[in-house]
Structure 1
Amino acid sequence: MRGITVKNKVKIVRIEKGGLTQSEFAKKVGVTRQTMNLIEAQKYNPTIQLCLQISKYLDTSLDELFWIEN
């Protein structure tokens, strides 16, 4: 799947829905702050399980948080 980029707006929604710090949010979903930093910087594509955990915690649909860009 060359040329496909996964984008997300995890940081925006995290701040809008309660303003948790990156560290606090990472702890809630079970990852390190460094991993959350990479996800929010769009330098790491999380597993589908982690995507679902993030969307569940933020009470947001998966497709609202993550999408594919060509």
Structure 2
Amino acid sequence: MNRREQRLAVDPIACKAHGLCAELLPELIELDEWGYPVIDRRSVGPALLPEARAAVAACPTLALRLAGEAS
């Protein structure tokens, strides 16, 4: 089975700077001075994939997603 590379992506228009993503996944997301997420551009490794999915699911505005993940 060929595993596709997965990266986090944020829709800057939809994001309202709640900060939940950074709380749930500080390894890949930090907040800028206004509270908006700054996403690490590295691919999400298998060890962090459950936390990345939890952060995506917790986003109240649905602004965070995993790009490249099979539907």
Give the TM-score band, short-chain normalised: 0.3 to 0.5
Answer 1 or 2: which has greater strand percent.
2
Superposition TM-score, scaled by structure 2 size: 0.43
> What is the TM-score with the length of structure 1 in the denominator?
0.43
